[in-house]
Amino acid sequence: MDDIRIGEVARRVGVSPSTLRAWERKGLVRPMRAGGRHRRYTPEDIARLRDVRALLTRGFAPPALQSLIAGEAIPEDHAVGKRLRAARTRRSLSLRGAAGRAGISASYLSLVERGLAEPSVSLLQRVASAYGGTLLEFFGAAPAGTAGPKLVRTTERRRLRGFDRVEIEDLVTFPNAVLEIDIFSVAPGGGSGGAYSHDGEEAIYVLSGELDVWLDDAEHFHIEAGDTLYFRSPQQHRWMNQSSATTRLFWVNTPPTF
């Protein structure tokens, strides 16, 4: 059987070509390249990709996927999960009780706490809301700035990692500030991972790239570099980068959510 190109593979696996490229960057598949340029997939690659998709659907993160597919023991990464578990135990919540408050399954919350699943922004926001806190609690204390809490230098920003294809840079560390200002970097195919809502209001300014935003699943906005989108946060909102390049966003919330 001839080698298969990426568009046809994406159709057979049920994902977009940009998602396949993201999986390749994470080492989940290594297709051949015809003449050093075009990707060529074998039937064995397609079978592996279907396994990857099935495991991702169950909530496993890429490091765990690599071990599962290789038949090895699953490594555990407690960076975010350990703090998530600590936040739950401080509130004397059982795994089932916490999951019920957040509207997610206990099995999936367990995977996240063990570091075996990459939580989405919407999942962590729902958990934070259920716990009566913010996402920052799950990423540790802000680094001590050399000029005090009013000035945050570029090298002193807290960077929130652990999401699937989303990184958040925290620009304000002043205690009890009523504004939260972040820079979001959203890789192709990345997004909120579902809808969420909270108190307050927010605005997004697109620094580069493009983003699709849905409000209450009734309004859809496609925003590009230089655009600003404002909305009230109690609206259910979800967002996704459906382009082939990373999008950078200047994102303001009040009161602080993340």
The answer on pLDDT for 52 being more than 80 is: no
- Per the structure, the count of domains in the chain is 3
148 plus 183 within the same structural domain? yes
Q: Which of 51, 70, 89 is the last residue of a domain?
A: 70
97 plus 144 within the same structural domain? no
CA distance between the termini of the chain: 50
pLDDT at 162: 67
197 plus 238 within the same structural domain? yes
146 vs 240, more confident: 240
Cβ-in-10-Å burial (0-12, 13-18, 19+) of 121 comes to: buried
pLDDT digits (tens, 9 = 90+) for 73-97: 555 555 678 888 888 898 899 999 9
Helix or strand run (H / E) with residue 203: strand 201-208
Contacts of 203 (CB under 8 A, 6+ apart): 228, 229, 230, 251, 252
Mean pLDDT of 65-73: 59
pLDDT at 21: 82
Q: What is the domain-level CATH number for residue 241?
A: 2.60.120.10
96 plus 59 within the same structural domain? no
From start to end of 55-200, where are the E strands?
Answer: 158-160, 166-170, 180-186
pLDDT at 1: 41
103 plus 162 within the same structural domain? no
| 75 in a structural domain | no
Query: Mean pLDDT in the chain?
Result: 82
pLDDT digits (tens, 9 = 90+) for 179-223: 999 999 999 988 998 899 988 999 999 999 999 999 999 999 999
pLDDT digits (tens, 9 = 90+) for 128-169: 888 887 777 777 666 666 666 789 888 888 888 767 789 999
| 76 in a structural domain | no
Q: Which of 70, 91, 114 is the last residue of a domain?
A: 70
Mean pLDDT of 43-68: 69
129 plus 183 within the same structural domain? no
Mean pLDDT of 212-237: 97
| Cα-based distances in Å from 147 to 143, 155, 181, 183 | 12, 12, 18, 21
Structure tokens at 171: 């620009």
What is the pTM assigned to this prediction? 0.67
44 plus 146 within the same structural domain? no
AA letter at 157: R
| 1 in a structural domain | no
**4: nearest Cα among 50, 53, 52, 42:** 42
175 plus 91 within the same structural domain? no
**φ, ψ at 201 (rounded to 5°):** -150, 160
Query: 35-39, 48-52, 63-67, 252-256: which has the highest mean pLDDT?
Result: 252-256
Mean pLDDT of 22-26: 78
Range of the domain at 235: 140-254
AA letter at 201: E
